[in-house]
């Protein structure tokens, strides 16, 4: 009877352990030993553990090339790695790293310390990062500083450090969560072409508003200026200079503005963001030919670019600058912004709104609206005001966004 009572007590403890959340469970033995080996004497459990370690070592040897990035591993070394004591393979042994690429479920991380400092390792998400559903679609993004555990194949990301800043958007029309596009950047360069494809004030204004929302310094880069009439270019520049945005004119064809662009990027972490086909990858190749980033072509029928960059990637230029190249976008919606907060993301609208008759004026239809009067008098550009109204309609639900039908990135 005492033996039966002891077994029932141990089974009860095991059931309680299984009901416990994974992140709270402290497993002193492999989960494979939960059933019959759990009720066996200690010597039998030890032999079962030894057999499991040997099987794991044999499996590791058979797949050594896949686990070790194509490099062959001697069987004796593989067996030593697989049978290393658990105390030396603790999940608490982590190293800091920076995410350089996030492609599907694989996260590429550059290690920032230890003997492998500077090496980029493919990693996977572990623990809470993988299991929990949060307000963000992706728990990590390019530019994040993370803690990496090297005790696995592949290594795992255990946690993400607190971010200095980040840029996000609504993931898709079917997923209202935030998609984190990049993190811990010093500035964002909004790349926009003035021709082929034509300039989009709608997209540009949204990205600039997102930068103000996330407190990221923004620079508007007007690319392909060699294809635009001078008068049109002057008027376009004036529109955004009046809004307090720094504007740079560039052309990868004749080299216009490349020196100024190189100076802006110097000693900073920058993200290049814009539509498809505006020339982000081409500009980077001009700044540093060793990158050899694939460049796309413009569709003659649609007058827009095709995706050549399918994921965000961090690059280090030859002069020491750090740049994040992002995929071209067609749809951009701000995440977690209210109509009241939206007004403050347009500096010229925020400036004129102090003279509105109504304190809660939305600058849409109210009588005595100073913003509407400023648009009528030319103090606020009509294209900027139109972008504001379009985003306001989206937030208040008065409009079915035409972008819903556009393909997502």
pLDDT of residue 193: 95
Distance CA 24, CA 341 (A): 39
Confidence of residue 327 (pLDDT cuts 50, 70, 90): confident
User: Mind listing the pLDDT tens digit for each residue in 218-241?
Assistant: 999 999 999 999 999 999 999 999
Lowest mean pLDDT among 31-45, 377-391, 392-406: 31-45
Using DSSP, state whether 102 is helix, strand or coil: strand
215 within 8 A of 298, measured Cβ to Cβ:
no
pLDDT of residue 43: 57
User: Mind listing the pLDDT tens digit for each residue in 344-368?
Assistant: 999 999 999 989 999 889 999 899 9
pTM beyond cutoff 0.85 = no
Distance CA 296, CA 306 (A): 6
Confidence of residue 328 (pLDDT cuts 50, 70, 90): confident
The CATH H-level (homologous superfamily) assignment of domain 90-162 is: Nucleic acid-binding proteins (2.40.50.140)
State residue 337 phi and psi, 5-degree precision: -110, 135
pLDDT of residue 300: 47
Both tokens of 288, joined, read 């540093």
Q: How far is CA 175 from CA 180, 211, 286, 333, 406, in A?
A: 13, 22, 37, 12, 15
Distance CA 333, CA 335 (A): 6
pLDDT of residue 238: 96
User: Mind listing the pLDDT tens digit for each residue in 265-324?
Assistant: 999 999 999 988 899 989 999 999 998 887 755 444 334 445 455 688 999 998 899 999
124 compared with 74, residue with greater pLDDT = 124
pLDDT of residue 153: 85
pLDDT of residue 151: 86
Q: Which single residue is written with the structure tokens 């635009």? A: 228
Q: Say if 90-162 and 180-325 have the same CATH topology.
A: no
For CA atoms 369, 375, 379, 384, the dihedral sign is: positive
**Which CATH code for domain 180-325?**
3.40.50.300
pLDDT of residue 155: 92
Q: Mean pLDDT highest for which of 2-11, 98-107, 158-167?
A: 158-167
For CA atoms 353, 359, 364, 368, the dihedral sign is: negative
Distance CA 10, CA 111 (A): 43
Q: CB-based contacts of 391: which residues, under 8 Å, 6+ apart?
A: 206, 209, 334, 342
pLDDT of residue 301: 39
pLDDT of residue 95: 93
pLDDT of residue 88: 37
Distance CA 376, CA 228 (A): 27
Q: Mean pLDDT highest for which of 22-26, 243-247, 317-321?
A: 243-247
Q: Which single residue is written with the structure tokens 């939305």? A: 362
- Looking at the DSSP assignment, which residues form a beta bridge with residue 170? 178
Distance CA 345, CA 241 (A): 15
Domain 339-405 has CATH 1.10.40.50: yes
Look up residue 161 and give its DSSP letter.
P
Using DSSP, state whether 274 is helix, strand or coil: strand
Average model confidence (pLDDT) for the chain?
79
368 within 8 A of 356, measured Cβ to Cβ:
yes
Look up residue 116 and give its DSSP letter.
T
State residue 148 phi and psi, 5-degree precision: -115, 130
pLDDT of residue 346: 95
First to last CA, the chain: 66
Confidence of residue 408 (pLDDT cuts 50, 70, 90): very low
Distance of CA 251 to the CA centre of its chain: 28
Domain spans of the chain, in order of start: 40-86, 90-162, 180-325, 339-405
pLDDT of residue 403: 43
User: Mind listing the pLDDT tens digit for each residue in 178-222?
Assistant: 999 999 999 999 999 999 999 999 999 999 999 999 999 999 999
Using DSSP, state whether 389 is helix, strand or coil: helix
Q: Where are the alpha helices (DSSP H) in 112-229?
A: 128-131, 201-213
Confidence of residue 329 (pLDDT cuts 50, 70, 90): confident
pLDDT of residue 109: 97
User: Mind listing the pLDDT tens digit for each residue in 127-147?
Assistant: 777 666 667 888 899 999 999
Q: Where are the alpha helices (DSSP H) in 71-116?
A: 75-82
């Amino acid at each position: 009877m005492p033996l039966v009572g002891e077994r029932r007590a141990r089974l009860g403890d095991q059931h309680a352990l299984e009901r416990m959340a994974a992140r709270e469970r402290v497993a002193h033995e492999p989960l494979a030993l939960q059933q019959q080996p759990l009720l066996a004497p200690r010597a039998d459990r030890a032999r079962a553990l030894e057999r499991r370690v040997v099987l794991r070592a044999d499996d590791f040897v058979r797949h050594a090339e896949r686990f070790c990035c194509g490099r062959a591993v001697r069987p004796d070394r593989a067996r030593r790695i697989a049978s290393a004591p658990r105390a030396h393979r603790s999940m608490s042994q982590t190293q800091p790293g920076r995410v350089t690429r996030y492609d599907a479920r694989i996260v590429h991380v550059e290690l920032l310390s230890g003997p492998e400092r500077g090496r980029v390792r493919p990693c996977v998400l572990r623990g809470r990062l993988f299991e929990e559903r949060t307000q963000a679609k992706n728990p990590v993004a390019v530019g994040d500083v993370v803690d990496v555990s090297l005790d696995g194949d592949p290594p795992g990301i255990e946690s993400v450090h607190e971010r200095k800043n980040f840029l996000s958007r609504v993931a898709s029309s079917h997923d209202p969560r935030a998609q984190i596009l990049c993190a811990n950047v010093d500035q964002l360069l909004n790349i926009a072409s003035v021709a082929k494809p034509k300039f989009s004030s709608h997209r540009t204004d949204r990205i600039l508003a997102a930068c103000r929302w996330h407190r990221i310094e923004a620079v508007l880069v007007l690319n392909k200026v060699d294809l635009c009439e001078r008068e049109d270019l002057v008027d376009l520049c004036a529109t955004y200079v009046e809004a307090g945005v720094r504007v740079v004119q560039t052309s990868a064809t004749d080299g216009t503005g490349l020196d100024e662009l190189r100076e802006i990027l110097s000693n900073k972490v920058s993200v290049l963001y814009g539509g498809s086909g505006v020339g982000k990858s081409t500009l980077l190749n001009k700044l540093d030919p060793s990158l050899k980033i694939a460049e796309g072509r413009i569709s003659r029928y649609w007058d827009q670019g095709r995706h050549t960059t399918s994921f965000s990637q961090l690059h280090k230029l030859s002069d020491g600058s750090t740049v994040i190249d992002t995929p071209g976008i067609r749809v951009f919606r701000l995440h977690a912004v209210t109509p009241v907060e939206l007004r403050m993301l347009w500096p010229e609208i925020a400036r004129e709104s102090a003279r509105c008759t109504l304190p809660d004026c939305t600058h849409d239809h109210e009588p005595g609206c100073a913003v509407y009067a400023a648009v009528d008098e030319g103090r606020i550009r009509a294209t900027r005001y139109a972008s504001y109204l379009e985003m306001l309609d989206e937030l208040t639900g008065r409009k079915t966004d035409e972008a819903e039908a556009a393909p997502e990135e």
